Amino acid sequence: VGACAAVALVSWLWIAQQLWRAHRLEVWLRIGQVDQAPALKGLWRDLSDRMRRLLQQRDKQVQLHIDRLQFFLRAIQASPNGVTLLDSQGRIEWCNDTAAQHLGIDPQRDQLQHVVHMVRDPVFSRYFAQERHDSEVVIEGRSPSLAQSVKLSVQLHPYGDGQQLLLTRDITTLHQAESMRRDFVANVSHEIRTPL
């Protein structure tokens, strides 16, 4: 009986020690501090070392993806065209500074606002309501002064799972050049017709 009791006590102590080590490992994994692995012995040490290596690899992969995402966002930010990412319901998820300037929106404050509520232009509202967006549409952009009119070329491109990419391009100079060309042609044709 004494030998059985001693074996049971030793077994219970061994199980309690293993449970304590498992608990320490579980607490470490829950906290997520990779560099603060508990000092364990035997099989538990091997297990914690493998987990630490896996977590370090995961952290490196996550950092690599974050760096690549930041690289792409900086590239889009440097674009002379406005880029706005819309979710499947037409709400603003992200936009570069050019798009914010073109459309008169604040990238942080207006996040998750519906784009039609932010771009209050009837031409854009009709364009957005269409099922297909094969061509671009010209709308009035936000101008820094009342004396200056800004023309924007806007086009929606579907991507992902129902999301849309809204591209804006400032065509004010092109619009002014086209207007000057029309005026010139009208004046020349009038001057030629008058003597005839």
φ and ψ at residue 81, rounded to 5 degrees: -95, 155
Question: Which residues pair with residue 86 across a beta bridge?
Answer: 92, 164
More confident: 4 or 38: 4
- Please state, rounded to an integer, the average pLDDT across all residues of the chain: 84
- Assess contact for 38 and 26: CB atoms under 8 A: no
Asked whether the whole model's pTM tops 0.75, one would answer no
Q: How far is CA 34 from the centre of its chain?
A: 28
Strands (DSSP E) found in the chain:
82-86, 92-95, 137-140, 151-159, 163-170
**pLDDT value, residue 68:** 94
Tell me how far apart the terminal alpha carbons of the chain are, to the nearest angstrom: 132
User: What is the pLDDT averaged over residues 176-192?
Assistant: 68
**pLDDT value, residue 167:** 94
Q: How far is CA 4 from CA 11, 12, 18, 59, in A?
A: 10, 12, 21, 49
Q: Please determine, for residue 107, whether its predicted confidence score (pLDDT) is greater than 80.
A: yes
Nearest CA to 119 out of 79, 127, 171 is that of 127
